[in-house]
Amino acid sequence: MAMRRVASTAARAIASPSSLVFTRELQASPGPKKIVGVFYKANEYAEMNPNFLGCAENALGIREWLESKGHQYIVTPDKEGPDCELEKHIPDLHVLISTPFHPAYVTAERIKKAKNLQLLLTAGIGSDHVDLKAAAAAGLTVAEVTGSNTVSVAEDELMRILILVRNFLPGHHQVINGEWNVAAIAHRAYDLEGKTVGTVGAGRIGRLLLQRLKPFNCNLLYHDRLKMDSELENQIGAKFEEDLDKMLSKCDIVVINTPLTEKTKGMFDKERIAKLKKGVLIVNNARGAIMDTQAVVDACNSGHIAGYSGDVWYPQPAPKDHLWRYMPNQAMTPHISGTTIDAQLRYAAGTKDMLDRYFKGEDFPAENYIVKDGELAPQYR
pLDDT tens-digit profile of 293-339?
A: 999 999 999 999 999 999 999 998 999 999 999 999 999 999 999 99
| Annotated catalytic residue within 4, 110, 118, 149 | 149
**pLDDT higher than 60, residue 237:** yes
pLDDT digits (tens, 9 = 90+) for 357-373: 999 999 999 999 999 99
Spatial distance between the Cα atoms of 335 and 33, rounded to a whole number of angstroms:
30
Give the per-residue pLDDT at 27: 57
Q: What percent of the chain has pLDDT over 90?
A: 90
Note if 173 is an active site residue: no
In a shared domain, residues 52 and 167:
no
**pLDDT higher than 50, residue 218:** yes
**pLDDT higher than 80, residue 14:** no
Note if 330 is an active site residue: no
Q: Which among 351, 202, 197 has a CA at the least distance from the CA of 286?
A: 202
| Annotated catalytic residue within 335, 344, 346, 368 | 335
Is 342 among the annotated ligand-binding positions? no
Is 125 among the annotated ligand-binding positions? yes
In a shared domain, residues 197 and 344:
no
Residue 350 is part of which domain span? 34-146+340-380
CATH number at residue 56: 3.40.50.720
In a shared domain, residues 109 and 67:
yes
Between CA 341 and CA 349, with CA 344 as vertex, the angle to 5 degrees is 135
Is 18 among the annotated ligand-binding positions? no
Q: How many domains does the chain have?
A: 2
In a domain, residue 2? The reply is: no
* DSSP secondary structure letter of residue 129: T
In a domain, residue 22? The reply is: no
In a shared domain, residues 129 and 171:
no
Give the per-residue pLDDT at 380: 87
| Annotated catalytic residue within 4, 89, 287, 322 | 287
Spatial distance between the Cα atoms of 124 and 350, rounded to a whole number of angstroms:
9
In a shared domain, residues 184 and 310:
yes
In a domain, residue 4? The reply is: no
Is 290 among the annotated ligand-binding positions? no
In a shared domain, residues 353 and 247:
no
Give the per-residue pLDDT at 29: 65
Give the per-residue pLDDT at 20: 43
In a shared domain, residues 286 and 261:
yes
Give the per-residue pLDDT at 228: 96
Average pLDDT of the chain to the nearest whole number: 93
Q: What is the dihedral of CA 315, 321, 339, 222, to 10 degrees?
A: -70
In a shared domain, residues 193 and 301:
yes
Residue 272 carries which side chain, given as an amino acid letter? Answer: R
Is 205 among the annotated ligand-binding positions? yes
Note if 304 is an active site residue: no
Note if 316 is an active site residue: yes
b/e map 326-361, b = 16+ CB within 10 Å = ebebbbbeebebbbbeebbbbbbbbbbebbebbbee
> Measured over all CA atoms, what is the biggest interatomic distance in the chain, rounded to whole angstroms?
69
Give the per-residue pLDDT at 298: 98
pLDDT digits (tens, 9 = 90+) for 120-129: 999 999 999 9
In a domain, residue 78? The reply is: yes
In a domain, residue 80? The reply is: yes
Residue 82 carries which side chain, given as an amino acid letter? Answer: P
pLDDT digits (tens, 9 = 90+) for 94-149: 999 999 999 999 999 999 999 999 999 999 999 999 999 999 999 999 999 999 99
Q: How confident is the model at residue 381 (pLDDT cuts 50, 70, 90)?
A: confident
Q: What percent of the chain has pLDDT over 70?
A: 92
In a domain, residue 237? The reply is: yes
Q: How confident is the model at residue 28 (pLDDT cuts 50, 70, 90)?
A: low
Give the per-residue pLDDT at 304: 98
pTM, rounded to two decimals: 0.89
- Phi and psi for 207 in degrees, rounded to 5? -65, -40
In a domain, residue 16? The reply is: no
Is 253 among the annotated ligand-binding positions? no
b/e map 15-28, b = 16+ CB within 10 Å = eebeeebebeeeeb
Sheet holding 95-98, edge to edge: 72-76, 34-38, 95-98, 119-122, 141-144, 369-372, 375-376
In a shared domain, residues 281 and 368:
no
| Annotated catalytic residue within 58, 118, 167, 316 | 316
In a domain, residue 12? The reply is: no
In a shared domain, residues 193 and 224:
yes
Rounded mean pLDDT, 6-23 = 38
In a shared domain, residues 129 and 184:
no
Rounded mean pLDDT, 277-303 = 98
Looking from the CA of 319 toward its CB, the CA atoms found within 13 Å total 6
In a shared domain, residues 93 and 170:
no
Beta strands 238-240 and 219-223 are: parallel
Give the per-residue pLDDT at 4: 41
Is 262 among the annotated ligand-binding positions? yes
pLDDT digits (tens, 9 = 90+) for 173-200: 999 999 999 999 999 999 999 999 999 9
